[in-house]
Amino acid sequence: MDNRSEVRAFLTSRRAKLSPERAGIPAYGSRRVAGLRRGEVAALAGVSVEYYIRLERGNLTGVSDSVLDAVSRALQLDETETTHLRHLARAAGPQPARPRNRRAGGPEIRPAVRRLLDAMTGMPAILRDFRFDIVAANPLGRALYAPMFAGSPTTPVNTMRFTFLDPQAQGFYPEWAQMARSAVGALHIAAAQHPADQQLMNLIGELSMRSDSFRTWWASQDVFVHRHGVKRFRHPGVGELELTYEGLELSGERDLTIVTYSAEPGTPSGDGLHLLATWAATQEANASRP
C-alpha cells in the first residue's frame, strides 16, 4: 500500500469534513469544494502554505511531533485520528528489518495464553491478531462464531473476510452496516501500524476488489479502535444476543488481542449465553457420533 496515497487521502478527507464555521474562521468567497482550504489549515497550524501542501501531498518524512500535533489541532482530529496520523508519519520513515525467525504462518501463542482462554468458561473469548485472524478461541468463542468457522475454507478464520465476503454475515450481524464500517476503520489503523506486512496488504486488496461496500468505506478514511462496546448477533442456534465486548491487548504481545463477550446475568442475553453453552455441547456430541 502506497503510504503517500494513504496520507494524502486521510488529510484531504479530514480537511473536507471541517467547515470554516466549525474552525472558527470567516468563510470568504465561493468554495468549489467542501471544507477548509489548504491555506486556512496552514494558518491554523502555524505552518507555511507550501509546507502544508507538501504534507497533504503525502510527504510526512521527517515531520516533527510538534507539527503533527499542530495539524491535528487545526483539523480538529480526535484521539484516534491523531494517533493514526502519527502511525502514518512513522510508516513514512525507514522501516525496521523484520525478524528472520518470524513465522509466516502466524504468531506463536504461549501455552499460558491458551490456558487463560480455556479458563474463561462462562464467556466467549477469542484471540485475534492485527490481521483480524482468529488464531485461537475457547469453546464458547467458537460456538458464538460458529457460522464464521463453518463457512471459512481457510485457517485461521479471518473476521474481515467473513464480514464482507460471506453471505451469512449480514444475517449474523443485525447491525451489519454500522459494524462493518467500524471494522474498515479498525483495518485502517492496522494498515498504518503494519505498512510492510504483505499478508495484511493482500487482505485489503482482496476486500477492495471483491466488496463494493468495503471499497466505499475504505475511501472515506474514517478510523476506529475496537477497545470496548456492545455488539449484537443473530445466532442460528440461540437467536438474538446483545453482548458487551472488551479488547484486552496482551502485555509483551502487541500484535495479539483477547476479545471477551459477556452479558448481565438474568437478562435475555445472559440466558442466551447459557443456552449457547448447551447448544455447543449438543453440536459437539452430534459431531462425535459415528
* 157, 247: one domain: yes
* 254, 283: one domain: yes
Per cent of the chain over pLDDT 90 is 75
| Better pLDDT: 33 or 185 | 185
239-250 sheet: strands from edge to edge: 157-158, 133-137, 125-129, 253-262, 239-250, 228-235
Segment 172-178 mean pLDDT: 97
Segment 156-170 mean pLDDT: 95
* 245, 127: one domain: yes
pLDDT at 89: 94
Segment 118-126 mean pLDDT: 92
* 149, 227: one domain: yes
Residue at 102 is within a domain: no
Provide the domain limits for residue 47: 3-92
Segment 13-38 mean pLDDT: 88
User: What CATH number does residue 135 fall under?
Assistant: 3.30.450.180
Residue at 106 is within a domain: no
Residue at 101 is within a domain: no
194 φ, ψ to 5°? Answer: -130, 60
Residue at 105 is within a domain: no
Residue at 273 is within a domain: yes
Residues linked to residue 126 through DSSP beta bridges, in sequence order: 137, 259
* 187, 274: one domain: yes
Segment 56-63 mean pLDDT: 92
Closest CA to 160 of 202, 102, 108: 202
Out of 15-24, 90-99, 176-185, pick the least confident. 90-99
* 115, 252: one domain: yes
* 57, 136: one domain: no
SS3 per-residue string spanning 36-97: CCHHHHHHHHCCCHHHHHHHHCCCCCCCCHHHHHHHHHHCCCCHHHHHHHHHHHHHHCCCCC
End-to-end, the C-alpha distance of the chain in Å comes to 49
* 86, 127: one domain: no
Segment 131-160 mean pLDDT: 91
pLDDT at 96: 56
Label the pairing between strands 133-137 and 157-158: antiparallel
263 within 8 A of 121, measured Cβ to Cβ: no
Residue at 100 is within a domain: no
Residues linked to residue 71 through DSSP beta bridges, in sequence order: none
User: What CATH number does residue 15 fall under?
Assistant: 1.10.260.40
Domain boundary among 48, 64, 92: 92
pLDDT band, very low/low/confident/very high, at 117 (cuts 50, 70, 90)? very high
Domain boundary among 59, 92, 125: 92
pLDDT at 251: 74
pLDDT at 110: 87
68 within 8 A of 75, measured Cβ to Cβ: no
pLDDT at 32: 77
Contacts of 214 (CB under 8 A, 6+ apart): 164, 180, 184, 207, 208
Domain boundary among 92, 121, 140: 92
* 122, 211: one domain: yes
Residue at 133 is within a domain: yes
pLDDT band, very low/low/confident/very high, at 1 (cuts 50, 70, 90)? low
- Residue 97 pLDDT > 60, yes or no? no
| Better pLDDT: 129 or 3 | 129
Per cent of the chain over pLDDT 70 is 91
pLDDT band, very low/low/confident/very high, at 103 (cuts 50, 70, 90)? very low
Residue at 28 is within a domain: yes
Contacts of 26 (CB under 8 A, 6+ apart): 20
* 132, 202: one domain: yes
* 76, 44: one domain: yes
Domains identified in the chain, total number: 2
* 66, 153: one domain: no
**Chain segment 187-216, per-residue pLDDT in tens:** 999 999 999 999 999 999 999 999 999 999
